[in-house]
Chains A and B, each alone.
Chain A
């Protein structure tokens, strides 16, 4: 999606029709800067985009039910209708679209009533005529840039850190999966499964009794499994919720006087526990890997000994090394003369004698094999002690991790006990809440594991039933046809599942790498962003050689969020170029519209962000106050600025303090005395007057 222009009429602060705000979108000059003081309508403009396209507003946008300009309402007669609209023109896939959302206010004696808004979408055809789209406007826009993702492209810079806050993690993970095409795969697998079920039902109606019986069994298992899968989702959500409560509780404990240190120690211990569990898991995986890939070697002792004794026997009998080559003997026989000069006439005794060497010479092959196998056998023998050493090491590690886990657990329990015995009732209460939550988490985790096992069992049984059904001879053509379809669907599912596994990992790792690159470009901290398997984003630092999670500041989280958005845009641009295009959403061009982009950042960060963002985004609209558009930001972005606009706020306050901004050598009013009793804003293009 490339934004071309925005126009408003009676929308919020903007009285009447604004001039068309043309948005820059060149390869280089891709930034549109809109200057305005607090209250001049910057947030209103940002929300005009999200209102038109998605009927959504950002958190900073107050009184959503008062969209229509107050002056326009005041000037209208009672009983009149006042129209308020916003219009966004954008381009996608070579087609231009005009999206216009209209909302009406009805002025009545006792107040104003606002209607539900309506969205109209026109597309420009080849002949240059604007015609309504053949699909629902919401559908067309949703296909170009899904609604669930809009907040990553139209956002309030002062609140952008929300993107990486823990309570939003699941939501971001979902959105990321959609953007990365992972969701397309997930849905394909799910819906192909549904289609297969329908086909099986069809088969059930036409198949013989035995087939029908097997199908029914399978269907029942499937239902059971789906029920458990649903439960697994619930557990996952519930765990997230419990975790949140736990965090809030520990936060409150940390704030309570007298126990901050204890709580801090508990946080540290819990982090350590998590890390140790991860290491334990890794060690166990290493051990499994070693046993499954090289474990067989230790069982080869008898075989290698036998090999050696065979070789020794051959050597003792003088058959090895075979010092005469078969080819050499053959040559002598063809020449009919030995190297000593004796004639080798066929049938003569010397001929027989030499010919006998042919058998011996045959051992040359054996010799070669002995040499080759000998090298392998030696290698195996050498590796056996290495294997044992590794196994011992991993087992020692596992024991050590288990031990340190039990120490951590003891220490944690003693902290809990102290808090439980605390003289303060508040603390006792919080701790008892914590105990409850932890108990609940334990129960849920156990149930999750048991369910996982059950699901796996059932899936294996279903697979077996599927094989039996397939084996069942089908005589009728119709049955065969349905069976062929089922087989094809199953094959498609199996293949998509393989792709799903590989792709998910590939995309996640590449995205993580890009986030890390961008983050390290901007931030001066040594923190490293991590994207875990659930696509949750965190910051880590290395403490004494061990990774630990960071309690990042708002500024750091803002930079992390920007890096994340930038990385997504960048990766999608790359991926949609290649073969993976089939999985990607339609868009590979993303605009970024940001209000107050540098809110909580200090000078260095403002400069770095100002430098990084234009490189990442395809198009950028920034809404800034005079102080936000300070030296370093203006400097870094100067080369990329295409258009600039100023929002002039007309204040009805008699002694209002006027303000202005100088741009391209001209002074533009930011705040000025209103010519009448109304408060409203106007849009001016820089370099146009």
Chain B
């Protein structure tokens, strides 16, 4: 049962998401990556809330 996984299989849930959800995911990942160096990323919750509100007007 050890199926050879590959990266696109793994990322399929993102690829198949509705456009607005996909944009939310991509923007959230970017925001998190930008603040990855902080142990407790500042204002990250507000950033994400803004992303959701912008993508789902």
Answer whether A and B are interacting partners: yes
Query: Quick check: is A166 within 8 A (CB to CB) of the other chain?
Result: no
Q: How far is the CA of A142 from the CA of B38 in the complex (A)?
A: 8
Residues of chain A lying within 8 A (CB to CB) of residue B49: 195, 198-199
Q: Mark B1-37, 1 if CB is under 8 A from A, else 0.
A: 1000111111101100110110011101110111011
- In the complex, are the beta carbons of A187 and B41 less than 8 A apart? yes
A142-B38, A191-B48, A198-B45 in contact; A505/B11 too (CB < 8 A)? Answer: no
Residues of chain A lying within 8 A (CB to CB) of residue B21: 488, 491-492, 495
Query: Quick check: is A423 within 8 A (CB to CB) of the other chain?
Result: no
- In the complex, are the beta carbons of A143 and B11 less than 8 A apart? no
Residue of A nearest to B30 (CB): A582
Which residue of the partner chain, among A178, A485, A579, contacts B7 with CB atoms under 8 Å? A579
Query: Quick check: is A523 within 8 A (CB to CB) of the other chain?
Result: no
Residues of chain A lying within 8 A (CB to CB) of residue B36: 143, 146, 178, 183-184, 187, 585
A184-B32, A191-B44 in contact; A489/B24 too (CB < 8 A)? Answer: yes
Q: How far is the CA of A495 from the CA of B22 in the complex (A)?
A: 9
- In the complex, are the beta carbons of B11 and A491 less than 8 A apart? no
Nearest CB of A to B21, in Å = 5
Nearest CB of B to A322, in Å = 42
Residues of chain A lying within 8 A (CB to CB) of residue B39: 148
Residues of chain B lying within 8 A (CB to CB) of residue A183: 36
Query: Quick check: is A192 within 8 A (CB to CB) of the other chain?
Result: yes
Residue of A nearest to B26 (CB): A582
Nearest CB of A to B54, in Å = 10
Residue of A nearest to B8 (CB): A579
Q: Mark A174-187, 1 if CB is under 8 A from B, else 0.
A: 00001001011101
- In the complex, are the beta carbons of B45 and A195 less than 8 A apart? yes
Q: How far is the CA of A249 from the CA of B25 in the complex (A)?
A: 48
Query: Quick check: is A217 within 8 A (CB to CB) of the other chain?
Result: no
Residues of chain B lying within 8 A (CB to CB) of residue A494: 13
Q: How far is the CA of A103 from the CA of B32 in the complex (A)?
A: 33
- In the complex, are the beta carbons of B28 and A142 less than 8 A apart? no
Residues of chain B lying within 8 A (CB to CB) of residue A583: 29, 33
- In the complex, are the beta carbons of B45 and A496 less than 8 A apart? no
Nearest CB of B to A656, in Å = 46
Residues of chain B lying within 8 A (CB to CB) of residue A146: 36-37
Residues of chain A lying within 8 A (CB to CB) of residue B20: 488
Query: Quick check: is A276 within 8 A (CB to CB) of the other chain?
Result: no
- In the complex, are the beta carbons of A496 and B25 less than 8 A apart? yes
Q: How large is the interface on A (under 10, 10 to 19, 20 to 34, 35 or more residues)?
A: 35 or more
Among B5, B17, B33, B55, residue most surrounded by chain A Cβ atoms (within 10 Å): B33
A198-B45, A582-B26 in contact; A491/B18 too (CB < 8 A)? Answer: yes
- In the complex, are the beta carbons of A499 and B11 less than 8 A apart? yes
Residues of chain A lying within 8 A (CB to CB) of residue B37: 139, 142-143, 146-147
Nearest CB of A to B37, in Å = 3
Q: List A residues 147-198 near B (Cβ within 8 Å).
A: 147-148, 178, 181, 183-185, 187-188, 191-192, 194-195, 198
- In the complex, are the beta carbons of A492 and B30 less than 8 A apart? no
Q: How far is the CA of A497 from the CA of B19 in the complex (A)?
A: 18
Residues of chain B lying within 8 A (CB to CB) of residue A586: 33
- In the complex, are the beta carbons of A143 and B34 less than 8 A apart? yes
Nearest CB of A to B26, in Å = 7
Query: Quick check: is A265 within 8 A (CB to CB) of the other chain?
Result: no
Residues of chain A lying within 8 A (CB to CB) of residue B9: 502
Q: How far is the CA of A491 from the CA of B26 in the complex (A)?
A: 13
Residues of chain B lying within 8 A (CB to CB) of residue A311: none
Nearest CB of B to A68, in Å = 29
Residues of chain B lying within 8 A (CB to CB) of residue A22: none
Residue of B nearest to A178 (CB): B36
Query: Quick check: is A578 within 8 A (CB to CB) of the other chain?
Result: yes
- In the complex, are the beta carbons of A499 and B10 less than 8 A apart? yes
Q: How far is the CA of A289 from the CA of B25 in the complex (A)?
A: 33
Residues of chain B lying within 8 A (CB to CB) of residue A194: 45, 48
Q: How far is the CA of A187 from the CA of B56 in the complex (A)?
A: 21
A489-B24, A502-B9 in contact; A495/B56 too (CB < 8 A)? Answer: no
Which residue of the partner chain, among A188, A289, A489, A505, contacts B29 with CB atoms under 8 Å? A188
Q: How far is the CA of A239 from the CA of B30 in the complex (A)?
A: 34
A492-B24, A585-B36 in contact; A192/B48 too (CB < 8 A)? Answer: yes
Residues of chain B lying within 8 A (CB to CB) of residue A289: 1
Residues of chain B lying within 8 A (CB to CB) of residue A492: 17, 21, 24-25, 28
Q: Would you list the 9 A-B pairs with minimal beta carbon distance, nearest first?
A: A142-B37, A502-B10, A495-B13, A498-B13, A146-B37, A195-B48, A485-B56, A195-B49, A506-B5
14 CB contacts below 8 A, A to B, read A184-B32, A185-B29, A187-B44, A191-B45, A199-B49, A491-B18, A495-B14, A495-B17, A496-B25, A499-B11, A499-B14, A506-B6, A580-B7, A582-B26
CB within 8 Å of B: which residues of A? 139, 142-143, 146-148, 178, 181, 183-185, 187-188, 191-192, 194-195, 198-199, 289, 481, 484-485, 488-489, 491-492, 494-496, 498-499, 502-503, 505-506, 509, 575, 578-580, 582-586
Q: Knowing that A188-B29, A199-B52, A492-B24 are A-B contacts, what are 12 other residue pairs whose CB atoms are under 8 Å apart, sorted by A's residue number?
A: A139-B37, A178-B36, A187-B44, A191-B41, A198-B45, A488-B20, A491-B17, A492-B28, A575-B7, A578-B7, A582-B33, A585-B33
